[in-house]
Amino acid sequence: MRTTSLIGIMRLFGYRILFAGVAFATLCGQACADVADGSRMASRLLDDALACHLRAHDFIAPLVDEGLIGPKASRVEDNSVNAFFPVRGADLRAFGFSVIAVVGYQKDDPLFRQGRGKPIGDSAYGVVVMGTTQRVKTRAEHAGSPAIVHHVGPLVTAIFCDAQR
């Protein structure tokens, strides 16, 4: 397990209980609003991509192209981990859990901005989901994913594919 990768994810979300609560309320609020007004949500299952056989660009670019996440990272960590958030109406799922952020970095790729510190590596990607770490880990293992599953905060868990593993 790469400590650098996990520290980057932990810093990105900073164990913020408030963040988890706001994210949960935002997701639930949007889903409830979409159901109430009858609009159809765009959805995508990310399980296959979390088998960790891709480069970060090949994971994130299609999500941008399909309009499921914003085209520019909303946040960039010192270790160059870029965070992209789902657009309104997008329903991204990983192992049955709702995705609240898509994260990644690929060296020398214009899709990603570099942070101020040493980059996490040549390529790494993953998602942050709403769910307990144990349940997420169990489902990822059941699916045969080699991804790192890491506790970020209450009901917030990171699923991370690191090419340097």
Residue 18 lies in a domain: no
**pLDDT-derived band of residue 42, with 50, 70 and 90 as boundaries?**
confident
pLDDT of res. 159: 98
Against a cut of 0.75, is the pTM above it?
yes
Q: Is 29 helix (H, G, I), strand (E, B) or coil?
A: helix
> What total number of domains does the chain contain?
1
* 117-149 pLDDT, tens digit each: 999 999 999 999 999 999 999 999 999 999 999
Residue 94 lies in a domain: yes
Nearest in space to 42 (alpha carbons), one of 61, 68, 20: 68
- Determine the structural domain holding residue 113 and report its residue range: 44-162
Residue 146 lies in a domain: yes
Residue 57 lies in a domain: yes
Residue 51 lies in a domain: yes
Query: Which whole number is the average pLDDT over 145-155?
Result: 96
Residue 26 lies in a domain: no
Residue 33 lies in a domain: no
Please give the Cα distance from 27 to 118 (Å, whole number): 33
Residue 91 lies in a domain: yes
